[in-house]
Structure 1
Amino acid sequence: MIKTRLISTGLICAAFLLGAPEMYGQKTPGKDQAKTPVNLKDPQNLGPALSAKQQDSLAKTSKYRDLAWTAQADKKWQASFNQEQGLAYLAESRLDDTTQTAQRQNLQERLRVLDKKTIFDVAYHPSLESVIHLFLTEKRDLMERMLFRSQYYFPLFEQELDAQGLPLEIKYLAMVESALNPTAKSRVGATGLWQFMYDTGKMYGLEVTNYVDERQDPVKSTQAAVRYLKKLHQVFGDWNLALAAYNSGPGNVNKAIRRAGGNRNFWAIRPYLPKETSGYVPAFLASMYIFEHAGPLGLKAAPLAVPRHATDTIQVKQWMEFGALAKELSVDSALIAQLNPQYKKQVIPYVEGERYGLRLPVEAVGRFVANEKQIYAQLKPAEQARRAQVEAMVQAAPAVTRYKVRTGDFLGKIADKHQVTVKQIMQWNKLKSTNISVGQSLIIHGKNTGSSPAQNAVAASEKSSTSTTNQSDTEWYEVRPGDTLWSIAQKFKDVSLDQIKQWNPQLGNNIQPGMKVKVCSCTP
């Protein structure tokens, strides 16, 4: 494949690219000073410290502690991810922040060598240099945490990529998407290692229920991401463009190509891409560069105590909760949660015809298989009590759907369709006005949700008292804030929405507070 290269001139800051530790806040060891490696098991390096009880629990299961410790990093990254929108956002904010250095040639040479080893176009660009600098300075601690996690996730990614004939370097894309956090969630709802939106996940077979979110399943989400990326590459014939389309959608990339006069080089179309996507590919290339040169750049990670090849899966035959299972197997529940992030409530459901797996360290799998009947029997009483508790929570939680605004829609019409009020839709979506636009996504909760039991009781009482009122005394109804034609019809006995519309043809669906609505067939 012929790669189009865009080499920029100018004085660029790249002293950090020599890999000199002192450039990033590290001390350079002298002749008599031993270099101390970064201890990634230290909670100070992985986020908030654990409680004394948690530390004692982990100390008793030290052979499982690595992934349990890294859970603290997950929490720390989760907070920064929601605030910063991932590495692509960080990259976008620093794309053109570069200064002079005499070491630019060193970076260019390294990139030339890397370019020969990969199918991706990693030619030098000032924006790429700026992102590398950002990641190696301000986000160096995050890079080391991801280097630690990559030992667990990269073998899985490489296996799935190789099976589909895709470049193994695509594994670095998950760093940009989620910082290798399987439970990462963006402010717009993208979830998991590969940040699938709900609809896209459904298209690629990822199940989302009250108990399970397969977008957080490392295996299934990786398989889905690989299929999606393969399709995008077939469309664009260029991996940089395929990655940009993964982030912003094929439509935005095609639009950027047209605005760039048909030029299909990423750097040429970057000014025409959405703001975050403009930093997306540079973030990917910077991540690839840093991890391919982790040693020379001074990045270190402690080895995993439980690497992926030291785990295995079993199919469960009974509803079970992580905490109770952990006690039976003498495995820390935090480790079980880390190995099985797809289970949202730390319980594994049992549904006839469905196959739900449990990943455990191989030693624990052996103990489980050898004592399977006894373990199921021991778990039964505790599981029944816990199951009743969780299912009560699930039933109490409202069903949530997303509605995409169509031409001709307005909040009153949407509220009528879903049998909710305009006020509820505005509250659920934090709308400051009733103005909506075509294509806008709205969160809609199930019927009568968003109210407390007391509020529902009051509403039922009001409806009952209103329904028993003589219709001759309630010929007209004055519209109140939040009312819709459907909600008005519900206030009166034997009055339907169709009747309200028939008696008030002049209103259509557009009603405002203070209007009078006829609520009976009586003549004036």
Structure 2
Amino acid sequence: MISEFWNKAIVPFCRLRQFLFYVYLFLPFFSFSQISLINKVSDSVQTALIREPIDNLMNEWFVSRMMVDSNVAHLNKYGFKPGYIPVYDDSVYIQRLKNLQSPIPLTYNKYVRRYIELYTIEKRKQVETMLGLGYYYFPVFEEELHKKGLPLELKYIPVIESALNTHAVSRSGATGLWQFMYATARMYDLKITSWVDERRDPFKLTEKAVEYFDDLYHIFGNWLFAIAAYNCGPGTLNKCIIQSGYKTDFWEVFPYLPQETQGYVPAFIAANYVMNYYIEHNLYPKNIYNPGLLDTIQIRKRLKFEVIARALQIPVEVIRELNPQYMKDVIPQSVTGDYYVLRLPQQKAALFYAHQDRIYRYQEYLDSKENDNQVYISPKTSNESKSNENSYILIKYTVKKGDYLKQIAEWYDCTENDLLRWNKEAANGIHPGQILNIYVLTEKAEHYQKINDMTFEQKQEMIGKKVKQSAEFHYYTVQEGDTLWSIAKKYPGITPDEILETNQIESGNIKPGQTLKIKKKI
């Protein structure tokens, strides 16, 4: 019965996340009676990776330049002396965790204690900084969790993921407060381009992270499993459960988990403890710069941060910290009819509304001087007379696996020499992920901009070439209401990520009528 439940409930899923927490399976358990007896654990590779997001937080501009000391006298209800580090018996930790009355089982054991000690003894300064940042971020997390009816305790996941640092990027590429991998972001419709990475937007990313947790809970029906799956991926967790003999208790599956996940859940429990009992450990929130109430402005035209800063008399760094999703201090031009978001303190937002026409005109003036978007050249100078000059616009193409220059030139109605002239580095060859500059007629820009998201078959059909169907693949025509997840379930062993990779789909979006290749499993 249990076996049937797990096989039905836990669908094989791509491993979405590899990053951040590497810890020993068996960490030494210390018992302290006096703080002078503390021996710090050596900086192993795993411990260093645990500390990394916490330590990196202190290098951030808004922390290093805008942090002031708190007046903590009114918080120090136990009369602790400055610098004193309280340490408690196991029974105290057990009772305090029980008092939190969480719908998520906050079990206490030696692994949890090790992380409590990491936060309350070794990383005190960083914890006080996170407590200060929590005043700003925790209400954002709580609002989204409340909308979905999920446990509010999940708001502490970003404490262990990113140390509440919107700019955090792990060694494996996980990004933002909730540390989303690229594949996860695509599945949850977050925009990632050369200009924008919505994983850095604390509001949008929080919304998608809550959706992801809701999905994980519906798969596993157990919050500790859902939290573990957030770290190692549902597919990996499913294998661990099978190896355990389909155990339904998290701590019975614990020995089969990857080492980083064996540290992840105890760290989450410890974060819940520390964020609620920091005063009992003589820890107090730092006063981090808080912009106060924010206003959201819809932006449809290209706009540089430096232009906004000059017009509103606000530091570029503040705009950058409030809008971390913009990679190059530029809000790009909207090409799809929607808009981008600019967040500013309310008073500055009011100034922007009052002077927005002047701000946009100044940006257009700078753009006309730089001439960085529009060019007036004929790419096909060998085939067209110089008197037949047309207006061309620059667009981008991301090279896919198997692409070569002659092929790309056919898709964009230009020549290989044109591509080499516009992309000097392509003379040494092209590679997947490389961004190519391509100039196209302005009047046909909309047509050419769609090519980047087409499958190989669609691009070849566009120029009148049929692609021979391979015996290695199934071919599926997307129907109304289909999602990558629902299509993957039709083919055992296939994951949404494999569909994206096989069909070279960058955006993660699929449309009715689109033909997808599904690799046959042997």
TM-score, normalising length from structure 1? 0.58
SS at structure 2 position matched to 1:418:
coil
Kept after mapping to 2: 8 A contact 1:311/1:360: yes
1:12-41 deviation per Cα after TM superposition (whole angstroms, max 9, x unaligned): 53549x9x899799xxxxxxxxxxxxxxxx
SS at structure 2 position matched to 1:176:
helix
Q: 2:165 aligns with which of 172, 181, 185?
A: 181
Counterpart in the other structure of 2:65: 69
In structure 2, distance between residues paired with 1:365 and 1:135:
38
Counterpart in the other structure of 1:143: 127
Cα distance, 1:419 vs. partner?
3.3
Kept after mapping to 2: 8 A contact 1:161/1:167: yes
Q: 2:312 aligns with which of 313, 317, 329?
A: 329
Cα distance, 1:172 vs. partner?
0.5
Counterpart in the other structure of 1:302: 286
Change (3 A) 1:22 1:356: farther
**What number of residue pairs does the alignment pair up?**
343
Q: 1:453 aligns with which of 396, 421, 424?
A: 424
- Structure richer in helix, relative to its length: 1
Kept after mapping to 1: 8 A contact 2:66/2:288: no
Q: Which amino acid aligns with 2:303?
A: M
1:13 to 2:30 alignment: yes
In structure 1, distance between residues paired with 2:228 and 2:257:
9
Kept after mapping to 2: 8 A contact 1:68/1:335: no
**Aligned-pair Cα RMSD in Å:** 3.9
Q: Which amino acid aligns with 2:99?
A: V
More deviation in 153-162 or 317-326? Answer: 317-326
1:418 to 2:414 alignment: no
Counterpart in the other structure of 2:503: none
Kept after mapping to 1: 8 A contact 2:66/2:289: no
Cα distance, 1:455 vs. partner?
7.6
Cα distance, 1:400 vs. partner?
5.7
Kept after mapping to 2: 8 A contact 1:329/1:367: yes
Aligned positions of 1:5-404 closer than 5 A = 13=30, 15=32, 47=58, 69=65, 103-114=89-100, 117-307=101-291, 310-352=293-335, 353-385=337-369, 388=372, 399=398
Change (3 A) 1:134 1:396: farther
Q: Which amino acid aligns with 2:404?
A: Q
Kept after mapping to 1: 8 A contact 2:57/2:165: no
Q: Which amino acid aligns with 1:365?
A: A
Counterpart in the other structure of 1:428: none
Q: Which amino acid aligns with 1:108?
A: I
In structure 2, distance between residues paired with 1:397 and 1:68:
37
Q: Which has the larger radius of gyration?
A: 1
In structure 2, distance between residues paired with 1:200 and 1:221:
11
Kept after mapping to 2: 8 A contact 1:15/1:104: no
In structure 2, distance between residues paired with 1:400 and 1:153:
38
1:267-319 deviation per Cα after TM superposition (whole angstroms, max 9, x unaligned): 22122111211111111111111001122222222334425x51111112421
Q: Following TM superposition, where does structure 1 have runs of at least 4 consecutive aligned residues deviating by more than 6 angstroms?
A: 20-25, 394-398
In structure 1, distance between residues paired with 2:219 and 2:287:
40
Change (3 A) 1:367 1:14: farther
Change (3 A) 1:273 1:46: closer
- Alignment gaps of 5+ in structure 1: 1-10, 26-43, 51-65, 72-100, 404-416, 421-446, 460-497, 499-524
Cα distance, 1:328 vs. partner?
0.8
Q: Which amino acid aligns with 1:13?
A: F
Cα distance, 1:261 vs. partner?
2.3
SS at structure 1 position matched to 2:65:
helix
TM-score, normalising length from structure 2? 0.58
Counterpart in the other structure of 1:97: none
In structure 2, distance between residues paired with 1:243 and 1:233:
9
Higher normalized contact order (CA 8 Å, seq sep 6+, divided by chain length): 2
Kept after mapping to 2: 8 A contact 1:207/1:214: yes
1:157-179 deviation per Cα after TM superposition (whole angstroms, max 9, x unaligned): 11111011111110101112211
Change (3 A) 1:382 1:125: same
- Alignment gaps of 5+ in structure 2: 1-27, 41-54, 68-86, 376-392, 406-417, 431-467, 469-522
Kept after mapping to 2: 8 A contact 1:181/1:193: yes
In structure 2, distance between residues paired with 1:387 and 1:239:
54
Percent identity reads 37
Cα distance, 1:219 vs. partner?
1.2
Kept after mapping to 1: 8 A contact 2:142/2:155: yes
1:171-221 deviation per Cα after TM superposition (whole angstroms, max 9, x unaligned): 101112211122222222221111222222111110111211111111111
Kept after mapping to 2: 8 A contact 1:244/1:280: yes
Counterpart in the other structure of 1:32: none
In structure 2, distance between residues paired with 1:134 and 1:390:
54
In structure 2, distance between residues paired with 1:390 and 1:170:
47
Q: Which amino acid aligns with 2:209?
A: A
